[in-house]
Amino acid sequence: MTDTPSQYSTKVMDHVKNPRNVGEIENPDGVGHVGNPVCGDIMELYIKVK
């Protein structure tokens, strides 16, 4: 990423450069899969209910 001016806010760019909550949850209560494997857009969501 470059430090050129952006149409996105500083907060959005901070999340792009420093992602949070990435990875898998150990022993999740639920897992969801969504996306299009043809183009490679796939996302897995993990949830833990306390």
pLDDT given for residue 40 in this prediction:
86
pLDDT given for residue 37 in this prediction:
80
Strands (E) located in 1-50: 30-36, 41-47
CB contact at 8 A, 45 and 23? no
- Domain enclosing residue 30, as ranges: 26-50
Number of domains, the chain: 1
**Alpha carbon distance 1, 12 (integer Å):** 13
**Alpha carbon distance 25, 12 (integer Å):** 24
**Structural domain includes residue 16:** no
Q: What is the pLDDT of residues 5-48, one digit of tens each?
A: 669 999 999 999 999 989 999 999 999 999 998 998 999 999 99
Tokens standing for 25? 């949850």
**Structural domain includes residue 11:** no
pLDDT given for residue 2 in this prediction:
59
**Structural domain includes residue 40:** yes
Residues 6+ apart with CB under 8 A from 44: 24, 31, 32, 33
pLDDT given for residue 35 in this prediction:
94
